[in-house]
């Protein structure tokens, strides 16, 4: 945890061995699967560069959230904690999901036990419960106070934010549409907006209520008034989080419109070709 001596704020990088080992294992496993494992099983001729970059960006966001001085700020300010968990659940998690190519997911799902587990975990009702349940759980007053004072509990919370975030984004972003059931446009939009509401309710409560968390109320750094800090943290979840959901929903809707237009043009071209063939005959 960060220290505060003689009025000086000591911002520290978090080089906890478990955290660094986890990041290295994640990177190493990914590089092995898209490289030697892909070539040995002849799964694909090449790895899409966009997906590779997306996965690396996801790891970079995790590094910023958990290793950089932002981790120190999360112990000093509720706003820092909120920025940390939003980066993990709403930025790093979707980037990691986008970084997984379809052939890699489909190859993994050939194993029956993995397929059964993933089918259950990526059900939209399960992902909704896990994502929002985890969000509300870690913001319960006694649990957040305990989490921010225990290194291992804090690591567990961040891990769960990342995992439940990845599961939440999976039905929307996974490229493996053949391996697991996919959502139609209406289901995707309903899924997004139904998951935005619990976040809005929680963030509204944090924004409007007096300071709840003793770990920030009694923090010696006093960078911000605890009430201002909590209200800013609630607003951080409320506004950027909701804007992100609206943007994603807009992109999905726009892609649906473009796909309809493409199909209509293809159908018009087919009918025109059929008409010309009929005229010639």
How does residue 5 score in pLDDT terms, banded at 50, 70 and 90?
very low
Asked whether the predicted pLDDT for residue 55 surpasses 50, the reply is yes
Closest CA to 139 of 203, 73, 235, 197: 203
CB neighbourhood size of 130 (10 A): 17
How does residue 280 score in pLDDT terms, banded at 50, 70 and 90?
low
How does residue 279 score in pLDDT terms, banded at 50, 70 and 90?
low
Q: In angstroms, how far apart are the furthest CA atoms of the chain?
A: 94
Of residues 173 and 143, more confidence is placed in 143
Per-residue pLDDT, averaged over 18-37, amounts to: 94
Looking at residue 110, the DSSP 8-state letter turns out to be T
Angle at 143 between CA 240 and CA 171, to 5 degrees: 45
Per-residue pLDDT, averaged over 41-60, amounts to: 90
Residues 114-125: tens digit of each pLDDT: 889 988 999 999
Asked whether the predicted pLDDT for residue 237 surpasses 80, the reply is yes
Of residues 252 and 69, more confidence is placed in 69
Least confident of 6-10, 116-120, 204-208: 6-10
CB neighbourhood size of 51 (10 A): 19
Closest CA to 170 of 108, 239, 81, 254: 108
* pLDDT for 272: 74
Per-residue pLDDT, averaged over 53-69, amounts to: 96
Residues 77-119: tens digit of each pLDDT: 999 999 999 999 999 999 999 999 988 988 888 888 988 998 8
Q: What percent of the chain has pLDDT over 70?
A: 93
Residue 167 CB partners (closer than 8 Å, separation 6+): 121, 122, 126, 127, 130, 131
How does residue 264 score in pLDDT terms, banded at 50, 70 and 90?
confident
Closest CA to 92 of 133, 45, 126, 60: 60
* pLDDT for 281: 61
Angle at 67 between CA 32 and CA 138, to 5 degrees: 100
Residues 131-172: tens digit of each pLDDT: 999 999 999 999 999 999 999 999 999 999 999 999 999 998
Per-residue pLDDT, averaged over 34-54, amounts to: 88
* pLDDT for 7: 37
* pLDDT for 79: 94
What's the whole-model pTM score? 0.86
* pLDDT for 186: 82
* pLDDT for 175: 80
Asked whether the predicted pLDDT for residue 261 surpasses 60, the reply is yes
Least confident of 172-186, 191-205, 237-251: 172-186
């Amino acid at each position: 945890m960060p220290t505060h001596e003689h009025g000086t704020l000591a911002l520290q990088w978090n080089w906890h061995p478990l955290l660094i080992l986890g990041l290295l294992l994640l990177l190493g496993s990914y590089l092995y699967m898209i490289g030697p494992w892909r070539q040995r099983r002849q799964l694909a001729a090449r790895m899409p560069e966009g997906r590779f970059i997306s996965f690396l960006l996801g790891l970079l966001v995790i590094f910023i959230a958990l290793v950089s001085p932002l981790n120190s700020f999360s112990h000093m300010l509720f706003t820092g904690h909120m920025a940390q968990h939003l980066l993990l659940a709403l930025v790093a998690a979707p980037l990691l999901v986008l970084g997984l190519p379809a052939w890699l997911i489909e190859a993994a799902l050939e194993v029956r036990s993995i397929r059964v587990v993933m089918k259950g975990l990526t059900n939209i009702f399960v992902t909704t419960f896990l994502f929002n349940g985890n969000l509300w759980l870690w913001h319960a007053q006694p649990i957040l106070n305990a989490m921010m004072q225990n290194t291992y509990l804090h690591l567990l919370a961040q891990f769960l934010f990342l995992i439940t975030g990845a599961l939440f984004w999976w039905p929307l972003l996974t490229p493996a549409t053949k391996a697991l059931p996919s959502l139609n446009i209406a289901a995707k939009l309903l899924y997004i907006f139904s998951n935005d509401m619990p976040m809005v309710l929680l963030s509204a409560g944090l924004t409007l209520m007096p300071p709840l968390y003793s770990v920030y109320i009694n923090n010696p750094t006093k960078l911000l008034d605890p009430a201002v800090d909590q209200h800013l943290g609630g607003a951080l979840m409320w506004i950027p989080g909701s804007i992100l959901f609206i943007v994603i929903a807009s992109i999905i809707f726009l892609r649906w419109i473009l796909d309809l237009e493409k199909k209509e043009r293809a159908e018009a071209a087919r009918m025109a070709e059929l008409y010309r063939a009929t005229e010639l005959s």
